[in-house]
Structure 1
Amino acid sequence: MSTPAEQAQLLTAARVQAAYTLIQPYIHKTPVLTNKTLNSIASTPQTADALAGTPFAGQTPAQPRIRFHFKCENLQRIGAFKARGAFHALLRLIEDRGEEEVQRRGVITHSSGNHAQALALAASTLGVPAYIVMPEISTTSKIAGTRAYGAQITFSGSTSVEREAVVAEIQSKTGAILIPPYDHFDIICGQGTTALELAGQLAEIGEELDAVITPIGGGGLNAGVATFFSDKTTKVFGAEPSFQGADDCRRGLEAGQRIEKVSTLTIGDGLRTPVGLLNWEVISDQKKVEGVYAVTEEQIKSTMKLVLERMKVVVEPSAVVGLAVCLFDEDFRRRVEKEGGEEGWDIGVVFSGGNTTVEAIAKLFG
């Protein structure tokens, strides 16, 4: 079996293009939105009060020029980009193992909700039994969505270690084939089609991105996006919550070593997992990903409120961490100011999902 480093060498833009060709009949081409109000807010210096208590307190705030292009994967099937990777991984599995074997054994995964729903949908569409392990604290709408596609759900603890233990137990009884939520070659290629589609949509109107930023949980989306843009000039960045060490990727890059375990209850529930081994090989390559930044729970909430009220777009907390970095992280903002100059940057922001509920939103802002 090849090592993660060897597999990473095979991740190319051509692989992402091949994935897109395969999954196109099964996914939505999601819209790209702009918003002048958010451009204006991002291009305005932060106030002294906003910088108080941060490492930038008392310093002159950055004044970048930013134009956003929001890739709305919250409007993807099952409400998240995960449908891309799940369909691609399952279709490749059927190509590799044969339809009869895959339908007989079924597939299994663990997920807080978005990959759970995505694999349940893909399995239902392709006539394959699906066994899904979900944390007991998963959002009710994600549980309901997974169950609606006919998957057999088993609940577990919230950490990746607890999830994986339950997966192993079910596999021993059923023989189901594991399709991991993020640390998987075909998952990464599938998620990378988000970038391919975004770049194509902007090219149609004569636009090109200077940078793109995505959330990072397990890292499949960021690694896929970085794979697609690896032979292009667009810079790729990642974003994480900082709460209770959820910024494992940022900290790992700082330390020069992948962090293996994460235990956090950040409101960005889709970002509570450590970066996968293969994803780390991509994200830790500075030629592919130029930086990862982290934001606080309050910054995530403030950003989510802006998107709900100013864009009229429903997103889950995990989806807005990239935008929060653009609005609040002075290191990132200073880089845009320095490198973008008077022209500024066109930044693609991936809204990764919209699977929340009215009750969850009310609890956040009540």
Structure 2
Amino acid sequence: MELNISDIASQCITEINKKIKNLKNLNIIVAGKTGVGKSTLINYIFREQLAQTGIGRPVTQHIQMITKKDVPLTIYDTKGLELGRDTQKEIKGEIIDKIKEGLYSKDENKCIHCIWYCINTASDRIEEDEIEWIKEFTEDNKDIQVPLIIVLTKSFSKKKAKEFKDYIDSLNLPVCAIVPVLALDYEIDEEYIAKAYGGEELIEIMGELLGEELIPTLQNVQRAAVKQKVKYARGVVATTVTASFAEGFTPVPFADAALLVPTQVAMIASITVAFGLKVDKGIIASFITSILGTTGATLAGRSIVAGLFKLIPGAGTIIGGAISGGTAALITTALGEAYIRLMERMCLGEIKASDISSKEAMTEMKEIFKEELKDRK
């Protein structure tokens, strides 16, 4: 059985597109007074500069819906919370109506999954009307229990942000979490720049609050917590290996090594979707080519196995003419980890998509794969 690299890359792209299409839509309400930095927060947490480039349209008098094609995320942005008590009550009612509308639809893609209430840390205070609004909202929301997170925006000083967080904590408000965030690097003076932070914590908390079926979507749309993407992707690798190569796996003849490919294609597709990057056929083909260490378009199954076994420390002579479950698991895990490393570096801007087919990048990817094999042997 032969393996065609171009065909495998095409299979990966097809599987990636299928998985993206099947993602649930994540719906978040972002509330807070004008000027607290909601748009900056949205653009910091989510990919595609959603608040800047997304399409916004009013759905009620005080709520605007922001969406973008091919991003499974809807942001509902509130307007006018600073305009007085009557307007605040109207907004609260509109939010509750929107929550009920999603619930009654019985469609997960229309349900509101979380609410962020934003307060400017730099103001160093939470207004009495905000305290009352949160209390009244959570009372009205108690039957549905959509989680509410207070996000402390513009948290330039971590010390002051902690003090402010501790103060709000002392009020015992019925919220799920209070998270200080600095959405943009902030220049204190020429010698010191406060780096953006808080995204990792916010996404980690979101992951704990959301249902299991929404976690793939959360990882796909968020960009502020690369470590969370890596953690999730490693879970994909572990699940793939456990489900496919555990006890009961029938050894695969060397000549039929390509039979393992569909499992590995699905794994790579899931990892790609989690990182939310635009990956084309060329990137996948370059990755596969670098791992196999060949420039040939088509390889025989036996050649693939022979090449991979040379990379496994202490593998020795291949006995029995078949790939065991343990060996398949080892190769698949190393493949997944190497691909995660590539996606992570692309996310962090350490490597560009245009550079992946370069000799240097391909050599580096193969070395990473060899390291992963060695570490797991």
Structure 2 length-normalised TM:
0.24
Look at both structures and tell me which one has the larger radius of gyration over its CA atoms: 2
Task: Specify which structure has the bigger relative contact order, considering alpha-carbon pairs within 8 angstroms and separated by 6 or more residues.
Answer: 1
